[in-house]
Amino acid sequence: MAGSEKRFSIGYALAPKKQQSFIQLSLINLAKERGIDLIKIDADKRLIDQGPFDCVLHKLYGDDWKNQLKEFSVENPNALIMDSPEAIERLHNRISMLQVVSELKIGAEREATFGIPKQIVIYDAKTLLDPCSWEGLKFPVIAKPLVADGSAKSHKMSLVFNRDGVSKLKPPIVLQEFVNHGGVIFKVYVAGEYVQCVKRKSLPDVTEDKLESLEGSLTFSQVSNLTANEKSDDKYYKMMHLEDAEMPPQSLINEISKGLREAMNLHLFNFDVIRDSSVGNQYLIIDINYFPGYAKMPQYETILTNFFWDILHKKDSIIDDDLTNEGNKSDDSGKISTRRRSFDDGSRKCVTNIVSEDGDGS
């Protein structure tokens, strides 16, 4: 790197567990080689008193933190906030989380289709026990807490086989119709324009015959009980040959990833996809998670460093262009007026858990 090349600073504000998994020395060193300094934000001090930062990378919640980000943005209009709290909060509700899928404008001239499973939200016990509220929803269903904020409580999910298992549920919850998908889930990691799809173990299929013999409900930690002839998940998954599962069409995954990124105005997320076993070319998005466990990906350091480099240099280029185009005009307060213009694919402004079985909501 040339000595005269500009260096960038990214301040990161992450919960201890996320910081431990994501901020590895290997990431810090690689970013430094590319001219990017990753600097820890001190949660005990006001954000506005720290920096300067070209970008704030964060996964903290609460009104105080939101106010600090707003205050920082006013004083540092050219700094990127990755991502905006308002955009992230959409993913904290499992109904609004998946509503965004219906907003996607993706060409229909393809064999594979996508959507979301049938689901309803239950806010109180009376509605939960009312058969009329379940119209159109078939057992088994997956019961998920309505709030998806990464807390231990939001991870607690159940597979409910019949009405006997309903009484154990605690609203508010989302009931999502379970779709047989061959015991395979596809996790798609997105970091800006970078997209990676990987296969993971998932809940085994539930046949009609098996459904009749099952009682009540099972938490996900008890899913191995579904495989009556096998004593462990490992045996079940070896039997089903996870490595032989066909990946979704990459073109479809890329289009969905881009569509979600633009519709949500988020740059760091993953989403979970299953293939409907009864259809074959129908893919269902079942969860979306903000700032997932990227460190689980091979060479995540390179992927994230490239992402940081791209957004920082695009931002810097836009600011330089604005200053040139506006002739360094001053506003009423005498400060240089710069517009925050679009970037990231030339169309989106960078102001920027599924809480799933394998815990990518970290």
Name the binding residues for 1D-myo-inositol 1,3,4-trisphosphate. Answer: 18, 59, 155, 187, 289, 293
**Contact between 152 and 361 (Cβ < 8 Å):** no
Nearest one of 260, 271, 303 to 105, comparing CA atoms: 260
- Binding residue ranges for ATP: 94, 144, 176-187, 202
**Cα(132)–Cα(96) distance, integer angstroms:** 23
Cis peptide before 131 (omega within 30 of 0): no
What is the helix (H) or strand (E) element at residue 98, kind and residue range?
Answer: helix 94-99
Contacts of 15 (CB under 8 A, 6+ apart): 59, 60
- Binding residue ranges: 18, 59, 94, 144, 155, 176-187, 202, 272, 287, 289, 293
Kindly tell me the burial class for residue 45, based on how many C-beta atoms sit within 10 Å of its own C-beta (0-12, 13-18, 19 or more): exposed
Beta strands in the chain (DSSP E): 8-14, 36-40, 55-59, 80-82, 113-115, 119-122, 141-145, 158-160, 173-177, 184-191, 194-201, 217-219, 268-275, 282-290
**Cα(41)–Cα(18) distance, integer angstroms:** 14
**Cα(350)–Cα(84) distance, integer angstroms:** 9
- Binding residue ranges for Mg(2+): 272, 287, 289
How is residue 341 written in tokens?
A: 């213009």
